[in-house]
Amino acid sequence: MGNLILGEIKKILRPKALITMAVIFIVFFILIALFYNINWDNFMELASRQTGNPDLDVDIAFGGSDYLYELTAENVDERIAAYNELYRQAIESEGGLDYYYKSVVTVLEYVKVNNLYGQELNIGEVAGRFTSAENFTLTYSTTLVFIITIYAIVTMSGLYADEYRNGTIKNIMIKPITANQLTLAKLIAMCAVLLGLLLTATLIGFLYGLAAYGTVSTVKVLLVFNAKHVCSATFGTYVLLMLISSCISIVSYGLLAFSLGTLFKRKTPAILVSLAVCLGIFSLVLSLINIKRFGFSSALSLSSYFIPDLSLPYKANFFISLGMLIVYNALFYFALFFSTNKRDIA
């Protein structure tokens, strides 16, 4: 099995593919580093123009936590009631945002119970206020994850399809190995490559951020899990959580492309369908017929369940998403199993 995995890693890491990835990464890194600085300057300028108090305004305007602005013991109940009303309306309209309002109510009640008025509270993502290695990593990894997802889709769609096209599948499958072993080896190899790629790129981003902006590893943030539970964590933990969620997302999109490429024995349709899913085109269609909740990309937004997220669909729930994610991935794996075990190899 070890030899199979090593062989698959070697197939994935072709020199041409590596050079292409390195060039894309360098260009992308330079662009992100430049835009990150420009954005920060714009934030500061805007904040100064508006109030003359950049720190406060940037946090409110870009941190997405305006519900905490000037929160006191006197107005907290009123604010909770207002957000509860918004939550009720969102449920009635079935149009989403219900998750966000419920999360806000949970945060406000947490502040009330723990008497945290006037304190500096960072809810999940700390945008703008802390220009730090962690913040840079977070901003940078959002785009990085998208690029790696595209790479995963393109590469994984060809894991079997290329072997079929080149005829090499015949040479492998007349060796004493089973189709399941080969599939597993391909998956493990691809996961190892993707993880290596993500971690290396993230580490480079973090080291650059550290040199340019310094760390805020001690800053605490509040995470609101599944709109019900609030817990405190370091910003670094939050970044790590995002990365784990991103890994799951990348592998899931990759698995979709892998199963389709194997089913069709061709890369192009697998890439097109997977990209359509990844870019939310299917989710859009599902939302038009009001079943967005069960869309694949909705199921992949696991990291959204740790912040008051505005993008989650109607009646979103972490455990339903997790269940859907498992079901979808099981379906993809079943498609792979069917394609490689039940059909003739050649």
Partner 1 sequence: MAILEVSGISKVYFRSGRPAINAVKDVSFEVNEGEIVGFIGPNGAGKSTTLKIITGLAKPTSGHVTIEGHDIVKERRQALENVGAIVESPDMYLEWSGLENLKYMASISKTEAPSGEYSENEVTTARIDELFRLVGLYERRKDRVRTYSLGMKQRLGIAQALIAKPKLLVLDEPNNGLDPAGIVEIRNILLRLAREYKMAVLVSSHQLAEMQLLCDRFLIINKGQLVAAPDKDALSDQSGESVVIISTDDIVGAKDVLKQKFGIDATLKQGGVEFKTHVDTGEITRELILSGISVKGISKKETSLEEIFMRITGREGR
Interface with partner 1 (CB under 8 A): 3-4, 6-7, 10-11, 14-16, 166-168, 170-178, 344-346
CB of 191 to partner 1, least distance (A): 20
- Cβ closest to partner 1, residue 142 vs residue 168: 168
CB of 181 to partner 1, least distance (A): 9
Least distance CB 89 / partner 1 (angstroms): 52
In sequence order, the β-bridge partners of residue 234 are: 220
Beta strands in the chain, from DSSP E residues, in sequence order:
220-225, 229-234
> Looking at beta carbons only, is 52 or 176 nearer to partner 1?
176
Q: What is the dihedral of CA 183, 186, 188, 189, to 10 degrees?
A: 170
Residue 3 Cβ, how far from partner 1 at the closest point, in Å?
4
CB neighbours of 129 closer than 8 A, spacing ≥ 6? 55, 58, 59, 62, 63, 122
CB 340, min distance to partner 1, A: 12
Would you say 112 or 266 has its CB closer to partner 1? 266
Least separation in angstroms between CB 339 and partner 1: 14
**Of 295, 275, 148, 6, which Cα lies nearest the Cα of 267?**
275
Nearer to partner 1 by C-beta: 129 or 186?
A: 186
Q: Return the closest-CA partner of residue 308 out of 250, 221, 249.
A: 221
Dist. CA 278–CA 291, nearest whole Å: 17
Instruction: Closer to partner 1 by CB, 52 or 167: give it.
Output: 167
Which amino acid is located at 277 in the chain? V
How deeply is 185 buried, as exposed, middle or buried, from its count of CB atoms within 10 A (0-12, 13-18, 19+)?
A: buried
SS3 279: coil
Indicate the residue among 93 and 166 with the shorter CB distance to partner 1.
166
